[in-house]
Amino acid sequence: MKPFRTSDLARAVGIHPNTVRLYVDWGLIPPVERNESGYRLFTQKHLDCLRLARMIYSSEYPGRDLRASSNEIIQHAVVDDWTGALEKAREHLAAVKAELKSANQAAKLLEHWAQNMAAESDGEPLVMGEVSKLLGVSMDMLRNWERNGLISVRRNSYNNYRLFSKRDIERLQVIRMLSHAGYSHMAMLRMFIELDGGKTRGLKKVLDTPREDEDIFTAADHLLSTLHGQEKLAKNVIKLIKEIIKAG
């Protein structure tokens, strides 16, 4: 088969030829031989890897784990292990589905809590050290959540210690749960602004919908939409790999 030129690969996937060269330099497609004139000689194997890499890098990932998982798919393809790439792609899809399930469950629990919050007067307040041990998070993390506007805690007028009510602790439990599920501070802040304003329903949608004044936002700022997109993308990656294996 006649080898492809750099421009052929670029045209096939709709990118600039310089981008193809970058993909080679980054190891996202296999090393390329050159002819006597110094021109790169690409094969169908290079085009297949380029198509796969372009598909995988076509959207944002809401965390390092999913990004690393997707990179493993490419690494298997680069060494011509397409069966291994398919196995990793299936594992990646399972990981995306697990994160989506976790994010949905967290949002569901949030809405249940919002409609059943404890009264401010319930129980004796706890100080930060006690709350840190109770929730299993560091005091620095608690301060960070307060600094980012996720919670406002009253202080003891005598020694200025923070005093956490039962309602505060419940709110911190929600923050911890949403953080573990992958929601960003911006998404949580957006939701808490609505909650503190009296909105107790539809908070799942608020978590997933950046406001117009959020000029810059990340994948975790609209986590559910991102994960739904990742699920669709992962299925398409599996489909592409199967087509490549069948054609080979």
DSSP state of 29: S
Instruction: Specify the higher pLDDT residue, 151 or 117.
Output: 151
The pair of three-digit structure tokens given for residue 219, joined into one six-digit string: 């994948």
Q: Could you report the per-residue pLDDT of 31-84, keeping only the tens digit for each? A: 998 888 888 899 999 999 999 999 999 888 888 899 999 999 999 999 999 999
The domain 1-58 is classified under which CATH number: 1.10.10.10, 3.40.50.11030, 1.10.357.10, 1.10.1660.10?
A: 1.10.1660.10
**pLDDT for residue 51:** 96
CB-based contacts of 189, cutoff 8 Å, min separation 6: 148, 149, 150
CB atoms within 10 A of CB 26: 10
The pair of three-digit structure tokens given for residue 11, joined into one six-digit string: 């045209």
The residue to which tokens 């299925």 are assigned:
235
Identity of the amino acid at 168: D
Q: Could you report the per-residue pLDDT of 17-35, keeping only the tens digit for each? A: 999 999 999 999 999 988 8
Domain ranges of the chain: 1-58
Q: Report the mean per-residue pLDDT for the chain.
A: 93
Nearest to 71 by CA among 92, 97, 98: 92
What's the pLDDT band for 2 if we cut at 50, 70, 90? confident
Q: CA 186 from chain center: how many Å?
A: 14
Whether 226 shows a pLDDT value over 90: the answer reads yes
- 86 neighbors 238 (Cβ within 8 angstroms): yes
**pLDDT for residue 12:** 94
- 191 neighbors 107 (Cβ within 8 angstroms): no
Identity of the amino acid at 12: A
Q: Could you report the per-residue pLDDT of 227-238, keeping only the tens digit for each? A: 999 999 999 999
CA geometry: angle 146, 152, 153, nearest 5 deg: 100
Taking each continuous run of H as one helix and of E as one strand, the counts in the chain are: 11, 2
**pLDDT for residue 212:** 85
**0.85 exceeded by the pTM?**
yes
CB atoms within 10 A of CB 207: 25
Residues making up the chain, counted from first to last: 248
Q: Could you report the per-residue pLDDT of 184-206, keeping only the tens digit for each? A: 999 999 999 999 999 999 999 99
The residue to which tokens 């005093």 are assigned:
163
**Gap between the Cα atoms of 196 and 82, Å rounded:** 51
**pLDDT for residue 60:** 85
Nearest to 222 by CA among 206, 202, 199: 206
The pair of three-digit structure tokens given for residue 50, joined into one six-digit string: 């380029």
CB-based contacts of 71, cutoff 8 Å, min separation 6: 56
Mean pLDDT of 104-124: 85
**pLDDT for residue 23:** 94
Whether 118 shows a pLDDT value over 80: the answer reads no
CB atoms within 10 A of CB 134: 13
CB atoms within 10 A of CB 198: 6
**pLDDT for residue 121:** 61
- 102 neighbors 88 (Cβ within 8 angstroms): no
**Gap between the Cα atoms of 176 and 145, Å rounded:** 10
What's the pLDDT band for 86 if we cut at 50, 70, 90? very high
Instruction: Specify the higher pLDDT residue, 9 or 215.
Output: 9
